[in-house]
Amino acid sequence: ASLGAAKCDPCAAGRFAPQGSGTCSSCSADAVSPASAESCTPCAKGHAVSIDRSTCIPCASNSVWVLSSSTSGVCDSTVDYALIALVAAAGALHFLGVYLLVVSFKRSLRIDDLAASGDRVVLSANPPHGMRHWARARARVKLADTGIQSVDQHTFCVQVLDERRLELQALGGGPISDAWESSKGIARLCFPYDILHTGTLAPVAVQVPLLLVPFWLALSMSWAENFFALHARSDKSFQAALVGLASGAC
């Protein structure tokens, strides 16, 4: 500081003296100044005052799950619940999508009864087969372990009669008149009919993309870029979201 022709000692860091002032004043709690400064500089958002109050330092956490901020020049750390929720949602959606694919792919039905009923052959499954006519193409199944040589390892079309019964048909769609009788065996759905004709509210082939694609599209939008930019370790936060996706898929 200086006053007239008198020379004074320079102000220490964190203090300032306006031109012509003879005294040094302290900067506010969230502002800094180097030695001999004539004014203070407020720290930007996400920055804190250094120990010697000469410069601003960025607030950064060592954990990707902790969000750092600053209040009155001091760093604060809070659990990043938004990122945790994002990663959990990503993992849950991908787990559900992969689970639906796994349980539907070449799904096996346990045959409770295979017998002629009038002019058609009816297959009864236990538990319920869970099939729907979601597509025009008739579902196809391959039978095994029925004990009937002309049936085992052969492929047939099936028509849904109710939640447990399926009508067995020739590949051309015509009825089968053979008098087959069996109370054992397995009917395995052929691909892609296993994902086209199974599902609760929609075919599995539609449910899985609806579960997975929107999240990937959301990650490519500007809001996602802005969300990760709020984090001091934005690259690590994005990687955490990708790990959540991969974990759900596994």
Together in a domain, 191 and 116: yes
Give the per-residue pLDDT at 2: 45
Listed as own residue / partner, the contacts of 142-146 with beta carbons closer than 8 Å and 24 or more positions apart are 142/187, 142/188, 142/190, 143/111, 143/114, 143/185, 143/186, 143/187, 143/188, 144/185, 144/186, 144/188, 145/184, 145/185, 145/186, 146/111, 146/114, 146/180, 146/182, 146/184, 146/185
Domain count, the chain: 3
Asked if 86 and 70 sit in the same domain, the reply is: no
Q: Per-residue pLDDT for 117 more than 70?
A: yes
73 with 88, same domain? Answer: no
Which tens digits make up the pLDDT trace of 210-240?
Answer: 877 777 776 666 655 555 555 545 555 555 5
CATH assignment at residue 181: 2.40.30
Pair (73, 84) in one structural domain: no
Single residue among 62, 77, 92 that ends a domain in this structure: 77
Question: 4 falls in which pLDDT band (50, 70, 90)?
Answer: very low
In tens, the pLDDT along 138-195 reads: 788 888 888 888 888 888 888 888 888 888 888 877 778 777 888 888 888 888 877 7
Same domain, 68 and 189: no
Residue 174 and residue 150 share a domain: yes
Q: Are residues 209 and 188 in the same domain?
A: no
One domain, residues 190 and 214: no
112 & 185 share domain? yes
Domain assignment of residue 137, given as a range: 108-197
Q: Is the same domain home to 131 and 164?
A: yes
